[in-house]
Amino acid sequence: MVQKIPGRNDPCPCGSGIKYKKCCLVKDEEARQSARAERTAAITESESAEEDETQSREANPHIEAFNARLGDFEAADYEGKFDIFNRTLDEPELMDGDMAFEMLNDLFHYTINYGERNRFDARVESLRKRLPETYDAEAHHFLKWRITNALVESRPEDAGAFFLELAPLAGKDIDIFNRVEEMVAYHGQLPALVASMSRAWPSVKSSNDIVPWGIDEFCTRAMSYELLNFADQMPEPTAATAALLERLNFYSEIDPKLIAAYLDHLCCRNERQWTANDFVLSPPHSRREEDEEEEEINEETIQPSGERNLYLLTIEFLGHLRCVEGVPYAKGELGRRELHQFILGRHYGRLEYRESMLEAAERDIKRKQSRRLKPKRKYRKYEHTLVPDPERLEHFLADLLDMMNQLYYRASAFFEIIPPWLRFLEMHRLIEAESRIRTLDRLAHLADDLNRIFEKYAVDPNPGQAIHGWRDRSE
User: Could you tell me if residue 150 is inside a domain?
Assistant: no
- Let me know: does 391 contact 316? Beta carbons within 8 Å: no
For residue 315, the tally of other CB atoms under 10 A from its CB is 25
- Is 433 within the bounds of a domain? yes
How confident is residue 423, by pLDDT bands cut at 50, 70 and 90?
very high
Q: Each residue of 205-240: pLDDT tens digit?
A: 999 999 999 999 999 999 999 999 999 998 777 777
Residue 209, classed as helix, strand or coil, is coil
What is the pTM (predicted TM-score) of this model? Answer: 0.82
Instruction: Please choose, from the candidates 176, 87, 168, 101, the residue with its C-alpha nearest in 3D space to the C-alpha of residue 134.
Output: 101
50-96 residue pLDDT tens = 555 555 445 677 789 999 999 999 999 999 999 999 999 999 999 99
What is the three-class DSSP state of 134? helix
438, part of any domain: yes
Cα separation, 272 vs 275, in Å, equals 9
Kindly indicate the confidence band of residue 457, based on its pLDDT and cuts at 50, 70 and 90. Answer: very high
Is residue 64 in a domain?
no
Residue 440 inside a domain? The answer is yes
Indicate the average pLDDT of the chain: 86
| Residue 254 neighbours by CB distance under 10 Å | 16
Q: Per the domain annotation, does 33 fall within a domain?
A: no
The rounded radius of gyration (Å) of the Cα atoms in the chain is 27
Instruction: Look at the chain and report how many structural domains it folds into.
Output: 1
Q: Is residue 472 part of a domain?
A: yes
In a domain, 386, yes or no: yes
The predicted model gives 353-362 an average pLDDT of 72
Encode pLDDT of 176-190 as tens digits.
Answer: 999 999 999 999 999
The predicted-structure confidence for 225-279, as pLDDT tens digits, reads as follows 999 999 999 877 777 788 899 999 999 998 888 998 999 999 888 778 999 999 9
**Which residue range(s) make up the domain with 327?**
272-283+296-475
CA distances from 454 to 97, 412, 466, 467, 470 (A): 31, 9, 10, 8, 13
